Structure formats: structure tokens, C-alpha cells
Amino acid sequence: MTQGQPVEEEPAGIRLRVLSYNVHGQRDDTAALAAAVRGAEPDVVIVQEGPRRFRWRHKCAALADRLGLVVAGGGLPALGNLLLTSLRVRVHRTWYRQFPLTPGRHMRGAAFAECTVGRARFVLAGSHLSTDAAERPGQAALLKEDLAAVRLPLIVGADLNENSGGAAWRTIADGLTDTAVAADRSDRCTYPCANPRDRIDALFVSPQIVVTDYDVVDTEQTRRASDHFPVLVDLLLPVPLAHA
């Protein structure tokens, strides 16, 4: 659990900067990865392909430290999905989902964390769906069950391994705001860095969360750091009305 720091509220809500990033198992330039994330100054990083095997706790903590953040949850229980936060964010509880294993395929899952920043309470979720088109819709349906059970505002970052027309994408997006569409930037591709042609990395939020900015961070650093570009989104979180 992390201890939140004082947060200033604005009339429209509380600002939160979120980065969703498939880090390619840290198999690329890790110095560039650290510099890119630190330079973005996020409050939250939703990681796909984070540590999930031998000494995974140590590796998750080392990655968080390298990025200037702390571990909220994830790693092995979420099969490589990892949630990192700054000290602005207080983490209250975490839980996980592991999708059924298909023989010959990598196990996939999801990580969840209930958080607050100031008086704004929300749930973070991160997932990475299968590269197999036949397997993805079932995983998306299970993930959607978990998301639908949440009664707080949601922030969902995921590598869906398909573009926005796909069945799995439509399942996850149903009832949520696609932040790229909200910012009129759905033409920005996230994969692969060498020749960007697909938008398979997404960040969705509940309708009551306001999207104030969206970017696919395409820089010299991010091209060295992973085979995916990170998605960086600025949000305004709703806060409960003060009691009279």
C-alpha cells in the first residue's frame, strides 16, 4: 500500500496522468525505457509484459524504482500485468484474474487496484490479451465481467492485440470511453515502433472521467525502449460532493 500525498482539487475534478505501456519484457533499451517514463511524469503506469517469473517480486520492485514509482500490484498473479503508481496515489486493495490456459499458448491475465488520489476514488485495471484471434474474445468476455462488477470510475489500460474493429476490442470498449477517440486522435498507431500501422494498445475510462489530453509517445527514446509506443493520457477524475 502506498501513502497518498496532499492533492489539490480543481472545480472540475482531480488531475491524473496515466501511461499504459507494453514494455516488451524489458528486452530492449532499459535506460531509454526509464528515461521515457520518467520524462512523461505519470501518476500511474499500467504495464504489460512486466516481470512474471523467477524472482518476480524483486524484478517488479526494481522496475518500479527505475521508473521512479512504486508497485501497486501485479506481477506473477496477474501474469505479467503490473500496476505502478506515484506517491500521489493511495492503493487500498488489489485483485487479479488469470484466463484459462490454452495448450501451447502463453497464459494471460489482468490486474486491478482500488485507489484514491485526494478525494477521488477509482479502479485501475490492466490486461494483455492473446495474439490468437480465436482465443481473444473469450478472454475479453471474462475481463469485461470483472470490469462490469466495478462500481467506481474505471481506468483500463490494455494491449488488446487487435485494432478497434475487432470483437474483443468492442467487448472491452462497450460502455467506456476510448480516450483516443475522445481526443480525436484515433489515427495514432501504437505498434510496431519500427513501422507503426496498428492501434492495438488502448486506454478506456468510465464516462464520468474527463479526457483532457491524449498522446502516443513517439520519440527516439520510445523507439529504443520497446516494440510498442506508450499511450499517455491526462484525465480529470470526479470527486464526491462535499457534505453541507
Average pLDDT over residues 75-99: 97
- pLDDT, position 75: 95
Which strands make up the sheet holding 90-98, listed edge to edge? Answer: 90-98, 109-117, 120-128, 154-159, 201-205, 177-178
Higher-confidence position of 229 and 165: 229
Residues paired with 110 in a beta bridge? 97, 127
Tell me the per-residue pLDDT of 15-59, one tens digit each, with 9 for 90 and over. Answer: 999 999 999 999 999 999 999 999 999 999 999 999 998 999 999
- pLDDT, position 165: 86
Residue 205 binned pLDDT confidence (cut-offs 50, 70, 90): very high
How far is 158 from 6, CA to CA, in rounded Å?
29
Could you give the percent of the chain with pLDDT greater than 70? 94
Tell me the per-residue pLDDT of 179-193, one tens digit each, with 9 for 90 and over. Answer: 999 999 999 999 999
Residue 7 binned pLDDT confidence (cut-offs 50, 70, 90): low
* 128-129-134 Cα angle (round to 5): 170
| 242 in any annotated domain | no
Average pLDDT over residues 78-99: 97
Average pLDDT over residues 158-162: 98
| 144 in any annotated domain | yes
User: What would the grid cell of residue 62 be?
Assistant: 526494481
Please say whether the beta carbons of 84 and 62 come within 8 A: no
The domain total for the chain is 1
- Inform me whether the pLDDT recorded for 86 exceeds 60: yes
Tell me the per-residue pLDDT of 130-143, one tens digit each, with 9 for 90 and over. Answer: 999 999 999 999 99
| 223 in any annotated domain | yes
Model-level pTM greater than 0.75?
yes
Tell me the per-residue pLDDT of 215-232, one tens digit each, with 9 for 90 and over. Answer: 999 999 999 999 999 999
Domain that residue 92 falls in: 15-237
| Secondary structure in 3-state letters for the chain | CCCCCCCCCECCEEEEEEEEEECHHHCCCHHHHHHHHHHHCCCEEEEECCCCCCCHHHHHHHHHHHHCCEEEEECHHHCCCEEEECCCCEEEEEEEEECCCCCCCCCCEEEEEEEEECCEEEEEEEEECCCCCCCHHHHHHHHHHHHHCCCCCEEEEEECCCCCCCHHHHHHHCCCEEHHHHCCCCCCCCECCCCCCECCEEEEECCCCEEEEEEECCCHHHHHHCCCCCEEEEEEECCCCCCC
Could you give the percent of the chain with pLDDT greater than 90? 89
- pLDDT, position 167: 96
| 2 in any annotated domain | no
Average pLDDT over residues 142-153: 98
Average pLDDT over residues 92-117: 92
| 76 in any annotated domain | yes
- pLDDT, position 1: 37
For the chain, give the mean pLDDT: 94
| 10 in any annotated domain | no
| 156 in any annotated domain | yes
For residue 86, what is the domain's CATH number? 3.60.10.10
- pLDDT, position 2: 44
- HSE-up of residue 103 (Cα within 13 Å, Cβ side): 0
| 244 in any annotated domain | no
